[in-house]
Structure 1
Amino acid sequence: MKKSLLTLALIVVSTVAFSQIKIKPGVRAGANFSNLTNTNLDDKTDLYIGAFAEIKFVKFYALQPEINYSRQGGKSTISGLDDLEIQYLGVALANKFYPIKAIGLHAILGPAINIKVGDNYDDLEGFDFLFFGGLGYDFPFGLGIEARYNIGVVDIFGSNVNNTNGNNNVDDLLLNKVVQIGATYKFDF
């Protein structure tokens, strides 16, 4: 009898708790303005696209797992030298904070890991771990706009990953840095 009551109580609590959670799938796309730290490269303009599932636990917080495709790199300043192009497929975990519940303004923070799926240069590191932050606004009809800044922590040649002697001067690292400006759309099923 006690087991039956406990099981029933857990089912009721779970049902009430999960009924408050709202999950909305969506898509995101926009422009990348990318470059590398500690180089003379100019900003390279390209694109990103992705899909996500926004899991809204409470009115002021949502967790948003994402899968993104991003084209990054830098534009050469030397005539006749090719631009650096790196393509990544990544998984991000965006934390969205809504400070004013009556409007769709939100802050976005989180980590991501990018796996290199293509480039035009030899010997580039096959992954990048990064952190991002930004601001966004969600309109009531599903459309949203956002701006993010991504900074990688893995040197594109892997010198801070493969270096065993501990000489990792941040002024020598070539890290991805990307400003993303784009739009999102959440589906309401």
Structure 2
Amino acid sequence: MRKSLFFATVFYLTLLTAEAQDFNFGVKGGINVASIGGNSYVGLGGFGSKVGFHLGGVAEVPVSEKFSIQPELLYSSQGSKWNFNSSDGNLKLDYINLPILGKYHILKGLSAEAGPLVGYLISTNEEVENSRFSKLDVAFAIGASYRLNDNVSVGLRYNKGILNINSDSNIDGSNQNNVFQIFAGYSF
């Protein structure tokens, strides 16, 4: 059901952008500084920031002169550094993320953006057969971007997880993805 909803949303956004007369599409990528927040592992160790990356496609569909909708489809390497009783390691959580952002054009080139993000966990480096992490992630994204010229843009974004990604029934509490992103994009 979750996969069907995810792919139906992607299909709908593809149709929406294909029917829009004056839309931009392109690619973007950048650096992730990811961590896992929450209270599930209190006293067992700590989560630190892990550097990863994101890469994918973006479209911008103007609604008015000052407002547009910006759907994206991104591969995102997330997770956290983990230290547990003096053993250090990286927890790698790879997602396919679908942010759907409202984009407000503040002044020429500068935009603020915010909206929901739905992610689907595609892989992890955990050695257990069944992952302790839920396949579905939901976050709220907020950021800003600046268009340097007609084709090149740069920006910052923070994705604050709102859904519990911990699916281990033996652990009480919840955990959420937190990702700070720096990116560059190219529009065609």
**TM-score (normalizing by structure 2):** 0.77
1:98 is paired with a residue of what secondary structure?
A: strand
Give the CA RMSD over aligned residues. 2.0
- Find 2:53's aligned residue among 47, 58, 61: 47
Aligned partner letter, 1:105: L
- List runs of 5+ in structure 2 lacking aligned partners: 1-19
Aligned length: 156
Distance in 1, Cα, partners of 2:21 & 2:53: 32
Q: Give the C-alpha shift of residue 21 in structure 1.
A: 5.0
Q: Is the 8 A contact 2:30 2:53 kept in 1?
A: yes
Distance in 2, Cα, partners of 1:158 & 1:59: 44
Aligned partner letter, 2:143: G
Equivalent residues in 2 for 1:20-169, closer than 5 Å: 22-38=22-38, 40-78=46-84, 79-100=86-107, 103-121=108-126, 122-158=131-167
Greater strand proportion: 2
Q: Is the 8 A contact 2:104 2:113 kept in 1?
A: yes
Q: Is the 8 A contact 1:21 1:57 kept in 2?
A: no
- List runs of 5+ in structure 1 lacking aligned partners: 1-19, 163-167
Question: Which protein has the larger Cα radius of gyration, Structure 1 or Structure 2?
Answer: 1
Q: Is the 8 A contact 2:99 2:141 kept in 1?
A: no
Q: Give the C-alpha shift of residue 81 in structure 1.
A: 3.8
**TM-score (normalizing by structure 1):** 0.76
Q: Give the C-alpha shift of residue 140 in structure 1.
A: 2.3
Aligned partner letter, 1:36: I
Distance in 2, Cα, partners of 1:181 & 1:132: 13
1:77 is paired with a residue of what secondary structure?
A: strand
Q: Is the 8 A contact 2:68 2:104 kept in 1?
A: yes
List per-residue Cα deviations over 1:110-150 (Å, max 9, x = no partner): 11110000012232101101110011101223100110000
